[in-house]
A and B are shown apart, each in its own frame.
Chain A
């Protein structure tokens, strides 16, 4: 296809690569720093723009854009070159990635002012963005691996960017070991598949592998599942992001936590839904749902006991990925109506999680930038000095716990409904409990960091500069808007993506020619209809109007009814009228255990919390053992059941 849009994917991928090269050429001269920053912002904006131009053909006209690199078209229906293939699901994920990279570039304008070596930062940053976009836009398995490696190494270097701090170096080390283990598993799986099928193209693999599974391909599936589970941090391969997100600079933490996990999930979906076509297989459904549930539980359990701000956010990321995996697991179900709801819930949650998790990490970065510490036991009472950050953080908290009318509610509701209708009622209950625990852990952060009592040493803390506030404002606005008009978002973004996940035939045909898929499959693949009926009805606009009416009515009522008496009995002799009640004592800072709100609960469930916390021993060898053990369990499971 030689229309204008067939070149857009390659522009989106190459622009940040070129930018990285240019910035690297410029070197470390201080005078060119602003030029380098502008290049970074310009290239990420270019990719974002080109992806927006791709919306019209891919989503509105339901076209799939295919582009063969170097014009190496398939020869006698055998794919030789690298193909980029953009369908609605890839575009959906790529839009999230590009938007987040752009916002992060704006944020790092001011955030990374005090570090040196910033040219290297911008090189690595653009490499990271380019490789992430390249990962989701490509249609070739080995190309995915190459992009993954670039992404991993850029992320590792950025994690240990502040290498004068011990925690950064340790986090980078853990990430290298566990990340390389994951990448090796992926490489093994890819090579096994290649040796079996003699092709590297995703579409052709799907066509050739249809229905006839050999033991080699099942082993490859097990390896690739484990490898991508390391990338998408599912338990027990979730131990590296905790340190990595804590130690990385916050503009990168936001990308690592909110966005890179989505690439892992994207790859898992491609493998399960497209290559292996496991829709309708109850054993795969059970595996993914079980894995997702354990991830949810362990993630949130560890989050409640943390004492560091960013570690807590990282663990809650782990738990939200569990939600997404449960949704995709339900999407594999035999019952088509339920499967659609599950997939749409998971896709929606991908979007929502990227938004509110980035917002939370940006607020954490703002606090770190102004006060220099993220230890929950040391901070306190910052809401009077940093009002904007407090407001944005409260919006993020309400979104992540799924309070209407913010966006977390819609996606979580879809996932609850999907898992309950698929017959997995305990999963619904665990999901709701995890939601309440998420709320609890974030209220703990709010109480410890923003409300509470102000310490002496933080008296001069000021609000963050405007450049850092703009991305936070944009993200909060997205949270609120997506929550208020979810039907609009669902119709234009989510439904086409869900449709394209199931529409394997079209995916394969575009790469080769029409009818190729049907010839290879020897049957037509059925696509479920995308109409879903919600088990209840949720109309957020009318709810919001109701809310506004009541708010106005209340304010009027109370402003009329408010009277006060002006007789003061005694004068305020010792100026204590406006102090907090402390039983008459002088008011000073009393650390009444207020920063660890749930110590009582930790005592009661002491065995459970100690077990899980003790299992996270901090030794890299243990974590590697977990990943290998997970791979072994998955392999055994798959071989016994397929």
Chain B
């Protein structure tokens, strides 16, 4: 009975909140809000907010066609692995002091887990055997390379800042960062980390895979890139992964830069987090998406290795100089 009592909350956390169900619902919701905001900014009505839900269920009901040339097992397994990794990250990001298991992972693990969905896209596209997919995956790899560099530097800067106060040296644990913020104010109020916050906002569109950095999935040029052979349920899983990734990046931004203890009531904390994530995504994804066009892959590489890298390098240097 005792074991059941401890097990039941764990299963609740894993499957309902903040695990599976919450991720799915909120992620699709965010994706819908993003589309609606873009439409409104372009002076049209736009799809209803529940549109991604309809998309997903329609895709569940469609046939799926597996091409003869594809390697079947990898083709079918790749999307599932991507989805599972992204849901696992959601379990580790603290929501204002409440975490599911705050001792199981930290920033470097999250860094690697975030690359797994992009990797699953690459492997899935590669296994489909289509020439369009191979162009798409080479662009996806180059994009991944370009945004890893500033992302690493941002994490190192934050880890150093929080660690210098907690244990005298660097820390990589999100629980420590959250504790540091509840002790000495939210991270964005430190001058040294404002460039890092701006750089993170610039990285979010590239991670999520939306204009102006979505060259890997360019619809008009290479017929949806790595996803060209997917249809039905597995395409739905990929779209779901993209939506959940939007949620993850937003909530990571909130946890890293606006974290801390928030209010003391847990329900108010959750509402605060939801509102903060929506504002972040609208700011960094929708505004940018409705205005800009798509960059080429070489321009993406050059952009990421100059502007966000310079910003996060400034942050890293300022943190080392003890600002």
Contacts and interface: CB of A to CB of B under 8 A. Distances in A.
A562 B233 contact: yes
A109 interface: no
A592 B131 contact: yes
A542 B101 contact: yes
Interface string A432-467: 110011011001001100111110000000000000
A581 B130 contact: yes
Given A436-B144, A452-B134, A577-B65, A421 B170 contact: yes
Contacts of A38: none
B218 interface: no
A498 B223 CA distance: 54
Contacts of A537: 103-106, 173
Given A403-B119, A537-B173, A600 B126 contact: no
A604 B302 contact: yes
B266 interface: no
Given A425-B316, A554-B83, A452 B126 contact: yes
A492 interface: no
Contact of A536 (B119, B130, B135, B171): B171
B149 interface: yes
Contacts of B2: none
Contact of B149 (A394, A420, A433, A593): A433
Interface in B113-127: 113, 115-116, 119, 122-123, 126-127
Contact of A383 (B108, B127, B173, B301): B127
A430 to B, nearest CB: 10
B310 interface: no
Contacts of A413: 108
A437 B87 CA distance: 26
Interface stretch (B151-159, B202-210, B280-288): B151-159
B80 A554 contact: yes
A594 B131 contact: yes
Interface residues of B, number: 79
A443 B152 contact: no
A612 to B, nearest CB: 17
A352 B104 CA distance: 23
Nearest to B131: A592
Contacts of B134: 447, 452, 592, 594, 597
Contact of A578 (B66, B170, B316): B66
Interface in B65-122: 65-71, 73-74, 80, 83-84, 87-88, 91, 101, 103-109, 112-113, 115-116, 119, 122
A547 B84 contact: yes
B141 A580 contact: no
B135 A592 contact: yes
A594 B87 CA distance: 32
A36 to B, nearest CB: 39
Q: Which of the listed residues B123, B130, B144 has the most CB atoms from chain A within 10 Å of its own CB?
A: B130
B108 A581 contact: no
Contact of A564 (B61, B80, B108, B116): B61
A553 interface: yes
A561 interface: yes
B104 A436 contact: no
Interface string B7-28: 0000100110001100000000
Given A417-B170, A564-B61, A580 B119 contact: no
Contact of B103 (A381, A539, A581): A539
Contacts of A443: 119, 122-123, 126, 137, 141
B148 A432 contact: yes
A604 B298 contact: yes
A394 B74 CA distance: 10
Q: Which of the listed residues B11, B128, B131 has the most CB atoms from chain A within 10 Å of its own CB?
A: B131
A601 B142 contact: yes
A381 B69 contact: yes
Contacts of A452: 126, 129, 134
B298 A603 contact: yes
Interface in A63-113: none
A600 to B, nearest CB: 6
B65 A578 contact: yes
A486 to B, nearest CB: 13
A447 B71 CA distance: 12
A558 interface: yes
A384 B67 CA distance: 13
A619 interface: no
A333 interface: no
Contacts of B91: 546
A28 interface: no
B84 to A, nearest CB: 5
Given A384-B71, A451-B127, A454-B69, A598 B138 contact: yes
Contacts of A582: 130-131
Contact of B104 (A428, A454, A542): A542
A35 B116 CA distance: 48
A387 B130 CA distance: 19
Interface in A580-601: 580-583, 590, 592-594, 597-598, 600-601
B66 to A, nearest CB: 7
Nearest to B60: A561
B276 interface: no
B149 A536 contact: no
A404 interface: yes
A562 B60 contact: yes
Nearest to A591: B131
A250 interface: no
Nearest to B61: A563
A432 B320 CA distance: 20
Nearest to B62: A564
Nearest to B138: A597
B173 A536 contact: yes
B89 to A, nearest CB: 11
A222 to B, nearest CB: 33
A135 interface: no
A174 B153 CA distance: 41
Nearest to B135: A592
A402 interface: yes
A416 B62 CA distance: 46
Given A421-B169, A453-B69, A454-B69, A580 B106 contact: no
B88 A550 contact: yes
Can you list the 4 inter-chain pairs with the closest CB atoms, starting with the nearest? A536-B106, A597-B138, A536-B172, A594-B134
30 contacts: A387-B73, A404-B113, A413-B108, A417-B108, A428-B156, A433-B145, A439-B119, A439-B141, A443-B122, A451-B71, A453-B129, A535-B106, A537-B105, A543-B105, A546-B14, A550-B19, A551-B80, A553-B20, A554-B80, A561-B60, A565-B61, A580-B69, A580-B130, A581-B130, A581-B132, A581-B223, A593-B135, A594-B135, A597-B141, A598-B142
Given A420-B156, A420-B170, 15 more contacts: A390-B71, A404-B112, A409-B112, A420-B160, A425-B320, A429-B152, A436-B148, A440-B142, A440-B144, A537-B103, A543-B104, A550-B84, A554-B83, A554-B84, A597-B141
